[in-house]
Homo-oligomer: A and B are copies of this chain.
């Protein structure tokens, strides 16, 4: 049976964490409990891999020109966007490995659970996903149950900063577009605690670009849209350096992220209104879509 725990107070708490949920966290949980954007749900329905992140790679622009039938055009656009977000999930999963079915992985900020399923399908590994949204955890658990993998892939309604999961037992862990809701210092301390020595940490994230300066207007609008707090790029490396996570691969995915946004912008049935802001932020250099792969040493 899929495990849906209540937010847990672990007995062996890390010094800097305590169980009380902040108003901010409640508001973020409320947002995701209520969120029903077609761009997340309709894409996921295609093959029951529900993501909460963006896509990567060149788009097949011909889907826009399909004027055979409006519904068919919509479906092709939806499928193409899903293909791109699936490519992103695969890119992340590729960097987790090699892993074996004996390994455990941790999905921090798992949303509706697609990433954990992708990792499990690729490596056979066990996965634990954690989300602050009870509804997401329930949804994800239901998906795992339907697939019959709920003994290998578990979702928990918990705080990713204080998971209550055991120390040093995980071979890999990741955040897929979920670091902007938490303090990196606390987040990486938790990953470092969970990972075994030599374990792998991967994140794909939007960060603001210190080279540009402070957060641009566009970055602030994205923050306002999602109730998040995007970190500067520098903060990732500073917090990793303090928590025994050593980068081994860093890649600026900004250019590869643009086709997804350009396509989505033209998908009237899927737009949420934030599309232009993302495109401007990427293009004016104030915002970056970044992959960081690091080793726990």
Contacts and interface: CB of A to CB of B under 8 A. Distances in A.
Interface of A: 9, 11-25, 27, 167-168, 181-183, 189, 192-193, 195-199, 210-217, 220-221, 223-224, 227-229, 233-234, 237-238, 240-241, 244, 246-252, 284-286, 288, 295-297
Given A229-B214, A247-B247, A251-B249, A198 B22 contact: yes
A224 B213 CA distance: 14
Nearest to A222: B220
B214 A224 contact: no
Instruction: List the 9 shortest-distance A-B pairs measured between CB atoms, nearest first.
Output: A24-B213, A18-B168, A22-B213, A210-B297, A220-B223, A250-B250, A220-B224, A214-B229, A20-B196
A28 B289 CA distance: 24
B234 A241 contact: yes
Contact of A223 (B24, B223, B241, B288): B223
A252 to B, nearest CB: 6
A248 B248 contact: no
12 contacts: A17-B197, A18-B167, A18-B195, A22-B212, A23-B212, A27-B213, A183-B214, A211-B295, A215-B229, A233-B248, A247-B250, A249-B252
Contacts of A20: 168, 196-199
Nearest to A21: B197
B250 A193 contact: no
Contacts of A288: 248
A30 B190 CA distance: 33
A199 to B, nearest CB: 8
B214 A234 contact: no
B181 A13 contact: no
A248 B237 contact: no
